[in-house]
Amino acid sequence: MTTNTIHGPKPKAGILDIKPYVPGKSGAKAAKTFKLSSNESAVGASPNAMAAYTASAHELALYPDGGAMALRQAIAKRHGLKAENIVCGAGSDELLQLLAHAYLGPGDEAIYSQYGFLVYPISISTNGATAVVAPEQGFVADVGEILSRVTAKTKIVFLANPNNPTGTYLTATEVKRLHQGLPAHVLLVLDAAYAEFVMANDYEAGASLVEAHDNVVMTRTFSKIHGLAALRLGWAYCPPAVADVLNRIRGPFNVSLPAINAGIAAIEDAGFTDMALAHNNKWLAWLKTEIEKLGLEVTPSVGNFLLVHFQSPQQAQNADAYLGEHGVIIRRVDAYGLPSALRVSVGTEEANMAFVATLANFLK
């Protein structure tokens, strides 16, 4: 569809060229289904967070604190950060979009890696800028390829670390090398949505870089390990000037009261987070081993999901269809340029076993 066929108001140039983001499927024909398509928490949300959410029902007539001060203080306490440099949003998606809105316009460029999160090109194009793709090596972002594409027009580099859908990451040393190679006018956005799952000693989410420089932002989410995906809650850790910009353009009440209260309870419940991490460590390794026993290649992942490679796009498509027919819903990643692969989230014990057993039946 082009603007020439629209008889009413016309959107800005380029908007109708954007391919909408398609989330993971939610339903299947089988009587019992296991949804492993959206990287949601396998263990749900903290009981404390659920109680805080329920208690918020008594205050639904009231506007929330527009600055989400109590939530920012809880985040700062948990991670040893400065509350005044934290900006909360309706999921980290909103914050990524706000950063693009604030720093990109027609004539500008923004870079992201080959298999980076699809929200990046959408956010870039929405603001009239040009999306520049840097090839990856072995499904890992390549610092040299990113830096070689930086020009005077580059305003943002988006880096998902760890990356979705590959599950790979760049070490702290490589991220620092990337930052050192960027001009001061380029904003490095470190999207660390899966940071809590990473056990590698050479990984850093990015807070120290934010505190040391004026052109680095780290975004985080409550949707993954904290299990609050339905509430849409995220946060960004920013240099003071960037935090000021985001606070000028975000909605005045962009985070709901139930989300604030549940987020505080979730981030304070360290015991529940530890339990969720232990579950992921156990079943991520188990899934990788069992899938490889079936003769399929799996990209090593530090997130709560795995990228499984098939012999051809047709086999991947057939596997997805077969799994869905038998109640196991996983994620096609054709839109990422990976038509021969499928992404599966770590689920409950029952869901993980159902996935492996159904996949084995398909391959037979």
Structure-model confidence comparison of residues 26 and 85, the more confident one: 85
pLDDT per residue as tens digits for the range 50-103 = 999 999 999 999 999 999 999 999 999 999 999 999 999 999 999 999 999 999
Contacts of 357 (CB under 8 A, 6+ apart): none
pLDDT per residue as tens digits for the range 198-255 = 999 999 999 999 999 999 999 999 999 999 999 999 999 999 999 999 999 999 999 9
The answer to whether residues 231 and 102 belong to one domain is: yes
Between the alpha carbon of residue 113 and those of residues 107, 243, 331, the distances in Å are: 20, 25, 20
The answer to whether residues 56 and 162 belong to one domain is: yes
pTM score, whole prediction = 0.92
The answer to whether residues 60 and 198 belong to one domain is: yes
Range of the domain at 252: 47-269
Measured CA to CA, the distance from residue 236 to residue 233 in angstroms comes to 11
The answer to whether residues 192 and 95 belong to one domain is: yes
pLDDT per residue as tens digits for the range 124-168 = 999 999 999 999 999 999 999 999 999 999 999 999 999 999 999
Question: Does residue 2 lie in a domain region?
Answer: no
Q: Given 221, 236, 269, which residue is the final one in a domain? A: 269
| Cβ neighbours of 56 (radius 10 Å) | 18
Is the pLDDT at 27 greater than 80? The verdict is no
Q: Given 225, 245, 269, which residue is the final one in a domain? A: 269
Mean pLDDT, residues 16-43: 78
| DSSP-assigned states of every residue in 101-128 | HHH--TT-EEEEETT--THHHHHHHHTT
Helix (H, G, I), strand (E, B) or coil at 338: coil
Q: Given 232, 250, 269, which residue is the final one in a domain? A: 269
For residue 4, the model assigns a pLDDT of 54
Structure-model confidence comparison of residues 342 and 32, the more confident one: 342
Provide the number of structural domains found in the chain: 2
The answer to whether residues 101 and 117 belong to one domain is: yes
pLDDT averaged over every residue in the chain: 95
The answer to whether residues 92 and 216 belong to one domain is: yes
Tokens matching residue 115: 């298999």
Q: What is the CATH number of the domain that holds 25?
A: 3.90.1150.10
For residue 1, the model assigns a pLDDT of 45
Instruction: Give burial (CB, 10 Å; 0-12/13-18/19+) of 38.
Output: middle
- What proportion of the chain, given as a percentage, has pLDDT over 90? 91
Mean pLDDT, residues 270-288: 98
Instruction: Give burial (CB, 10 Å; 0-12/13-18/19+) of 184.
Output: exposed
